[in-house]
Amino acid sequence: MTDSAKPRREQIYDVASRLFSERGYHATSMRDLAGELGIQGGSLYAHISGKEDLLVEIVRGASQQFDDSLFTLRELDLPADQKLREAMFRHIRVVADNMDSATVFFHEWKHLSEEPYAQVVAWRDTIDAFYRELVERGIEEGVFRADLDVRMTANLVLSAVNWTYTWYRPGGTLTPRDIAEQFAEMLLSGLRQA
């Protein structure tokens, strides 16, 4: 589907994601945005209610993608190491397939007003909890080392998958699957020569 076949509203959100990720939310003017779409600044308001509405929707869309991708994993009956691989893959795939909105999500959420801001904070807690649960299960199953600090382990995994938004380049040779497999293998088996 080409851009011009999409509804105007969607085009606006797409371009806003790109500009916000490249320049930042506050450094992007509504006239910049309109210019990229070939219309006048004031004309945007026929389709959207305001600038923050754009940010709210982009951030909500990104967190929704993480949720859809990760929470369906909860009930899956897999050994913890395989579940970790799969979670990392899905997490990285969301970032890789949505580089613009993921970047906006990680960089601009602090500029949200109170209510959507609080939702992002709450969302982040649920993602932390998801990875902590996964680690706890792994310890219980005897798949992971018993002396792991659950919080720090989840932290390390989250560092690896989240930081991809800073260096991943779509169209390169590395697929999200490649990245996840390599990261998971290093995390599970360690860097040290056995």
Partner DNA sequence: CCTACCGATCGGTAGG
Interacting residues toward DNA by CB under 7 A: 8, 28-32, 34, 38-43, 45-47, 50-52
Window of 41-49, 66-74, 102-110, 114-122 that interacts with its own copies by CB under 8 A: 102-110
CB proximity list for 82: less than 8 A, separation 6 or greater: none
Minimal distance, residue 67 CB to DNA, in Å: 27
CA distance 87 to 130: 10
Size of the chain in residues: 194
Residue among 17, 65, 101, 153 that touches its own copies (CB under 8 A): 153
CA distance 159 to 18: 23
Residue among 22, 53, 68, 125 that touches its own copies (CB under 8 A): 22
CB proximity list for 56: less than 8 A, separation 6 or greater: 112, 116
Q: Among DNA, its own copies, none, what binds residue 32 when CB lies within 5 to 8 Å by partner kind?
A: DNA
Minimal distance, residue 161 CB to DNA, in Å: 32
* 30: contact with its own copies by CB under 8 A: no
Window of 16-24, 30-38, 50-58, 112-120 that interacts with its own copies by CB under 8 A: 16-24
Minimal distance, residue 61 CB to DNA, in Å: 19
CA distances (Å), origin 181, targets 43, 90, 158, 189: 46, 11, 15, 12
Nearest to 107 by CA among 163, 170, 49, 168: 163
